Amino acid sequence: MKMSDIVARYIMELLNEQDGNAEIQRNELAGLLGCVPSQINYVISSRFTPEQGYIVESRRGGGGYIRITRITTDRRIAIMHIVNSVGDRISAASAATILDNMAEGKLIDSYEKMLMLSALSDKAYRCVSQEMRDELRAAVMKNMLATIVVLQT
């Protein structure tokens, strides 16, 4: 398992244990997990973003900390926020990360996640030119997520 996955899993466990709020000290966490502090920064900036349902606050200095809060909001609003954040292009890896985070946050269930992963995989777009795949994938992903929102009303 990659170090970034270990760091992300540790932070997710903290969030789950503490009702969606975790406060960490970067240097202490890096020492505990045996990585460099910049690895902690990388994981937080790439996996704990507003698009993925998190608010990150930090305070620098000797008593500094990083506070991560899982956003709890109406499921439909959260999904539409993700739809609006996808943009015009998305890679298969980025789509998979978003879907993993959505499933972790219970915005979609495992069945929906697996169906969407299949529909957004590179294998599904092998007959489409390489330069068009990410555009088509973004459009399909947005449409599937919007459909979930419509079906919930």
- pLDDT (0 to 100) of residue 153: 64
Distances (CA, A) of 81 to 8, 52, 73, 75, 135: 22, 9, 11, 10, 19
The reply to whether CATH 3.40.50.2300 applies to domain 3-70 is no
Distance from C-alpha of 64 to C-alpha of 51, rounded to nearest angstrom: 25
| CATH architecture for residues 75-152 | Orthogonal Bundle (1.10)
Q: What is the mean pLDDT of each run of 10 residues along the chain (153 residues)?
A: 90 90 90 91 87 81 80 80 89 92 87 96 93 95 94 75
- pLDDT (0 to 100) of residue 63: 62
Distance from C-alpha of 44 to C-alpha of 141, rounded to nearest angstrom: 24
The token duo for 40 is 């902690």
What residue spans define the domains of the chain? 3-70, 75-152
CB distance 11 to 22 below 8 Å: yes
